[in-house]
Amino acid sequence: MKKKLIASVLAVCLMAASLVGCGSQAETATDATSTETEVTAADESTVAEEEAQEATETTEDLSGNLTLAGSTSMEKLCEAMSESFMDQNPGVTVTVEYTGSGAGLESLAAGSVDIGNASRALKDEEKSSGSVENIVALDGIAVITDKENQVTDISAEDLAKVYKGEVTNWSELGGADEAIVVIGREAGSGTRDAFEELLEIKDACNYAQELDSTGAVLAKVASTPGAIGYVSLDVVDDTVIGLLIDGVEPTEEQILAGSYKLQRPFVMATKGELSEQNELVNAWFDYIHSDAGKEIIKKVGLIIPQ
Amino acid sequence: MKKAIVEKTAHIIFLICAAVAIFAVCAITLYMFLKGAPAFSQVGVTDLLFQTVWKPTAETPSYGIGYIVLASVVGTASAVLLGVPVGLLTAVFLSEIAGKRLGGIVRGAVELLAAIPSVIYGLIGMMVLNPLMFRLEKLVFANRPEHQFTGGANMLSAIIVLAIMILPTVISVSTSSLKAVHDNLRAASLALGATKEQTIFKTVIPAAKSGILTGIVLGIGRALGEAMAINMVAGGAVNLPLPFNSVRTLTTQIVSEMGYAQGLHRKVLFAVGLVLYIFIMIVNFVLLSARKREVAE
């Protein structure tokens, strides 16, 4: 009986071993082919390598911890930026906590973090406590309606009323007699957070539909007569109308000029001017202002400030 | 000796495979309770389950999932009320009335219906059902500005989609249990002078009762657990589940907010998962006991 058991265990082991053997053989085969392709692709990738080298040269042998805390809306930006920054500087660990703009600036003032993230301009008392406002990106939100809509311009005040459910028909805003279908994003979404904050209607909105992605909002607004929704500025296409807010067009130029209402700065505040900061913090800001950093800002749907 | 080794090895392999399933169930159950329970103690059981205000990101957050639980229950119950009669009568048609050719066509259609992925149901619901519902909504609420127009993404759309989705389950399980009814019963009923309809409704269906019940319970399970299609047609705002209100169910609640949720908000979503899991366990328990009774009979 015992013998049988040992034998069967051995058999299982053997089977497992042979399976593993097969696996590794296959792996080496793919390895070989991938090196071949690498060789052929080497010429094309030299440009990229040079760029990478340049970046490493400017920030040579950095090490240590960089700590950030603050706005939850900046999560996407911070995650993408820190990941790429740590790739460039393997010795550096970037830790970002998402505690909210106010809490982040408090931690900065208390000296417990290097950078305080805020998705709004700094208040005067925050500036007087020594925090310096470094705007790294601008976030713009477009308000969209379906193509058939006759209203092309809406005041910020009316927009707030629409979202609070006080205005329910387009005729009240000078449009056709059509019910307004109020579409928004789910709780926790950065876009929703920004939109409600900028119109000062935080958690006072009365949504008819809460969708869980930018694409879904865009598609739903485009296909529903009388719908209104909000999305990141960069995704607006010709299937919808981007409403003018207080007569200002939702474009990058208007945001850079500061005249479009639904925009907010993403601030990475430091205690004292940048020149007073340590090497690590300066390397971080240099990276944000480099081409690679700008690429990341664009990729997460933000606008680069001038 | 060689034979014995093969036997023993096979035995062990079977055992390992069976252990995988058992391990998965135990691990999932443990995980759901460990992850879902903290929110109950932090928010409070009654505040979580019976409060109706869902504002997880407000200054003073409120985590009431009352409307969400209600939407799941009402949605599933209505879908079953709508889908079961249709499904049962289709099953009767398939087992008692249809000839070989027509029966084959219907059976093929039902099988295809079962194979359609839920995202397709959602897509069609969104592109076809929602616009139709929007028109109906405009008719029903023509002069009532107090109603919030949802663009057709509402409870009713979700119920209709769910009712269609549970049809294949109800039909196939009911058909096989109707077919399993012995022909002696039918012959006896007809011999006593009952018409075909009387035989079907007074003899065959009662005899196949527990099998049909199994089909219904399986349908409830499917409707309760469906997320994708509902997410696409129901609107997703947290509201009292009235026919023309935009609603959110337990499943879509998790799907739509898991992406960016943090802290207690995230924990509450796990608690929502736990509530859903408990519902499904109850459904399965009912199913098991129904099957046991069937065997006993």
pLDDT digits (tens, 9 = 90+) for A96-105: 988 888 888 8
Asked if A12 is an interface residue toward chain B (Cβ–Cβ < 8 A), one would say yes
Query: Minimal Cα distance from B236: which residue of A?
Result: A210
User: Tell me, which fold does domain A138-263 have in CATH?
Assistant: D-Maltodextrin-Binding Protein; domain 2 (3.40.190)
**Is A285 an interface residue toward B (CB < 8 Å)?**
no
Please tell me if residue A188 touches chain B, with a CB cutoff of 8 Å: yes
Burial classification of residue A130, based on how many CB atoms lie within 10 Å of its CB (0-12 exposed, 13-18 middle, 19 or more buried): middle
pLDDT for A249 equals: 92
The band of A30, judged by pLDDT with boundaries at 50, 70 and 90, is very low
Residue A60: per-residue pLDDT: 57
Q: Provide CB contacts within 8 A for A101, sequence distance 6+.
A: A70, A71, A117, A118, A119, A120
Average confidence score pLDDT of chain A: 82
CATH number for B65-296 (one of 2.60.40.2230, 1.10.3720.10, 3.40.50.10540, 3.50.50.60): it is: 1.10.3720.10
**Which residues on chain B are in Cβ contact (under 8 Å) with A180?**
149
Among the partner residues B57, B153, B257, nearest to A209 by beta-carbon distance: B153
pLDDT of residue A37: 42
Angstroms from B1 CA to nearest CA on chain A = 8
Which one has a higher pLDDT value, A3 or B230?
B230
DSSP for B42-89, written as a single string: HH-HHHHHH---EETTSSS-EE--HHHHHHHHHHHHHHHHHHHHHHHH
Cα nearest neighbour of A196 on chain B: B58
Please name the residues between 134 and 153 in chain B that touch chain A, using a CB distance below 8 Å: 134, 138, 145, 148-153
Which H or E element spans position A233? none
Percentage of chain A beyond pLDDT 70 is 80
Q: Does A130 reach chain B within 8 Å, measured CB to CB? A: no
* pLDDT level of residue A274 (50, 70, 90 thresholds): confident
Report the chain A residue with the minimal C-alpha distance to residue B145: A168
* Nearest chain B alpha carbon to A227: B151
Q: Which two tokens stand for residue B277?
A: 């899991």
pLDDT 10s digits, A164-186: 999 999 999 999 999 999 999 98
**Pick the residue with more confidence: A76 or B295?**
A76
Give the integer Cα–Cα distance in Å for A253 and B88: 63
Task: Tally A–B CB contacts below 8 A.
Answer: 108
Per-residue pLDDT at A44 exceeds 80: no
CA angle (B292, B214, B253) in 5-degree steps: 120
Task: Give the best residue of A209, A214, A228 to mutate against chain B (max B CB count within 10 A).
Answer: A209
Supply the pLDDT for residue B222.
93
Q: Which of A193, A210, A227 sits opposite B151 (nearest CB)?
A: A227
From CA B34, how far away is CA B222, in angstroms rounded?
25
Among A72, A165, A212, the residue with its CB nearest the CB of B259 is: A212
Q: Which of B248, B257, B262 sits opposite A98 (nearest CB)?
A: B262
B5–A207 C-beta distance less than 8 A: no
Instruction: Flag whether pLDDT at A33 surpasses 80.
Output: no
Check pLDDT > 70 for residue A1: no
- Asked if A203 and B55 come within 8 Å (Cβ–Cβ), the reply is yes
pLDDT at B281: 94
Cα separation, B133 vs B55, in Å, equals 28
Could you give the residue ranges of the DSSP H alpha helices within chain B?
2-43, 45-50, 66-92, 100-115, 118-124, 130-140, 155-179, 183-191, 196-198, 205-207, 209-225, 228-233, 250-257, 263-296
Q: Reduced to 3 DSSP states, what percent helix, strand and coil does chain A have, rounded to the nearest 5? A: 50, 20, 30
pLDDT in tens, B126-184: 999 999 999 999 999 988 878 889 999 999 999 999 999 999 999 999 999 999 999 99
The H helix count followed by the E strand count for chain A is: 10, 12
The answer to whether A206 faces chain B, any CB pair under 8 Å, is yes
User: What pLDDT does B143 receive?
Assistant: 80
Decide if B232 contacts B122 (C-beta within 8 A). yes
Task: Tell whether the model's pLDDT for residue A6 goes beyond 70.
Answer: no
Residue B271 and residue B40 in contact, taking contact as beta carbons nearer than 8 Å: yes
What is the pLDDT confidence band of residue A125, given thresholds at 50, 70 and 90? confident
The pLDDT score that the predictor gives to residue B297 is: 64
pLDDT band at A212 (very low <50, low <70, confident <90, very high): confident
Predicted confidence band at A31 (pLDDT cuts at 50, 70, 90)?
very low
Note the pLDDT of residue A193: 86
Instruction: Specify the pTM.
Output: 0.77
Segments of chain B scoring below 50 in pLDDT: none
Predicted pLDDT at B36: 94
| B182 vs B180: CA distance, rounded Å | 6
Contact call for residues A42 and A70 (beta carbons, < 8 A) = no
Average pLDDT over residues A216-230: 93
Q: Of A4, A98, A206, which is closest to B148 when you measure between CB atoms?
A: A206
